[in-house]
Structure 1
Amino acid sequence: MCQVVTREFKVIAVKHRGLYKDFAELVPKAAHQFLQRVPNLAGTEVTVYEPKASESHTEGTFYVGLLVNNALDTLPEGAEFLDIQHSYGMIRGKGTGMGSLYKMLDQWVDEQGYARDTLENYILETYHPVENDVEEVEIYIPIKV
């Protein structure tokens, strides 16, 4: 279920800041607004998170956007192009089970003896619609290999 992957993500996204405790509300709202602003862009929906460094780290940055094959000649207003490449512990599952997916992936990373590499690397989630409106999510946690 869990695996190690080395992957490159090319992302067109808009940067936001907020309190970590509010991310569950802020992220979907920001993603919805972004998708409404760029109806002509196609791609896999993605969220890029600044990892929480400690308990006292209450505010963080996140990006919402789309995976693309190449940088665009012109970006939507307020958007940035991110080119992120790293090794990750990865899991895929139903979007409704986000908490348990993170828990399983964290436990697997520890059991395999990998160290998280989250000081300057982002956690990513990609969203994949499947039938019956159940969304699958892939979670990527940066690790040192």
Structure 2
Amino acid sequence: MFEMVKKDFKLVGLKGSGEFINFGNEVPLLARELLSRSKEIQNRTETEIALFEPKRDADHAIGHYYVGLMVNEKLTEVPSGMDYIETNNSYITTRGNINSLDQLHLNLLKWGNEQGYQRDLDSYIIETYHPIDDGEEVQIYLPIHA
């Protein structure tokens, strides 16, 4: 199922950067580091979240990302080395099994194009992660111009 939503995210996370092609390996490693420090984050939820700089074109090889935990309210104190981020955008979104992540992204892009949505390449792509009985689901939020 695909839909357009306007959504607000609040999170505390660690910043990483590297080649887009390596994000699949680097992001989970940074997420493990973050989870090992999760007790330092006030007002945290159990929801893991990642923000990705969009790849603008074929020449755009290096990007940055954040891995974090969503928080219930704005924080005044953030743990050392972490950042507090708040976003509020319009997104097209879908959810499915994490093992189908690439296909979910492709299907969402295709649907967005068919619906005439324009991607916002200046805002973060967001993924939230949700444990299920036999693995994990991911919810993808692609920013669009409203």
Question: TM-score normalized by structure 1?
Answer: 0.94
Q: Does 1:108 align with 2:111?
A: yes
**Contact 1:3 1:90 (C-alpha < 8 Å) held by counterparts:** yes
What is the CA distance between 1:141 and its match in structure 2? 0.3
Q: Does 1:47 align with 2:50?
A: yes
What is the CA distance between 1:56 and its match in structure 2? 0.8
Q: Structure 2 CA distance, aligned partners of 1:33 and 1:52? A: 25
**Alignment deviations for residues 76-106 of structure 1 (CA, whole Å, 9 cap, x no partner):** 2111110100000000001110011001100
Q: Structure 1 CA distance, aligned partners of 2:30 and 2:63? A: 14
The amino acid that maps onto 1:93 is: G
Unmatched 5+ residue regions in structure 2? none
Question: TM-score normalized by structure 2?
Answer: 0.94
Aligned to 1:28: 28
My pick for the range that moved more, 18-27 or 37-46, is: 37-46
Aligned to 1:124: 126
SS of residue paired to 2:113? helix
Aligned to 1:62: 65
**Contact 1:38 1:76 (C-alpha < 8 Å) held by counterparts:** no
Runs of 4+ in 1 over 3 A off after TM superposition: 39-42
Q: Structure 1 CA distance, aligned partners of 2:6 and 2:53? A: 19
Q: Structure 2 CA distance, aligned partners of 1:14 and 1:141? A: 21
What is the CA distance between 1:40 and its match in structure 2? 5.5
Q: What is the root-mean-square deviation in Å for CA atoms of aligned residues?
A: 1.1
Aligned to 1:138: 139
Q: Structure 1 CA distance, aligned partners of 2:50 and 2:31? A: 8
What is the CA distance between 1:73 and its match in structure 2? 3.2
